[in-house]
């Protein structure tokens, strides 16, 4: 489930608000332009990790637990190197673009 948006990493672009298929986030309007959106509907999160994939600032963290909130702290996520880890794995961040075409499924489907 979505756990946190790092206020220091987030630039307030609100891409996650737009792309979340479950409409979990809420943009913060008015005076707070540039502020991180809120996780307004956490229980609706389907743990699909797509907000992380689409976040250009690696500011979000989705815990693997689909049913419960873990309450993990930002420091722990950062220390474990988990910010941006999904985006790197699928080749969507600078320095990792080769991973876009790294899919080895064809080897797994071959007779073995």
Interface with another protein in residues 8-47 (CB under 8 A)? 17-23, 44, 46-47
For 23, phi then psi, to 5°, come to: 60, 50
- Cα 79 to Cα 64: distance, rounded to the nearest angstrom: 17
Q: How many CB atoms lie within 10 A of CB 64?
A: 8
- Cα 76 to Cα 54: distance, rounded to the nearest angstrom: 22
Nearer to another protein, 16 or 36 (CB): 16
Count residues contacting another protein (CB under 8 A)? 41
Q: Does 76 bind another protein (CB under 8 A)?
A: no
Stretch that binds another protein, among 5-13, 31-39, 96-104 (CB under 8 A): 96-104
Q: Does 75 bind another protein (CB under 8 A)?
A: no
CB of 105 to another protein, least distance (A): 4
Select from 92, 61, 47 the least CA-distant residue to 102.
92
């Amino acid at each position: 489930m979505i756990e946190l948006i790092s206020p220091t990493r987030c630039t307030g672009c609100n891409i996650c608000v737009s792309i979340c298929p479950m409409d979990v986030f809420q943009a913060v309007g008015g005076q707070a332009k540039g502020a991180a959106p809120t996780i307004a509907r956490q229980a609706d999160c389907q743990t699909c990790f797509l907000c992380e994939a689409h976040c250009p600032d690696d500011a979000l963290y989705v815990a693997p637990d689909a049913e419960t909130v873990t309450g993990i702290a930002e420091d722990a996520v950062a220390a474990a190197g988990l910010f941006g880890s999904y985006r790197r794995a699928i080749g969507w961040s600078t320095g990792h673009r080769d991973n876009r075409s790294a899919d080895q499924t064809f080897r797994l489907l071959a007779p073995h």
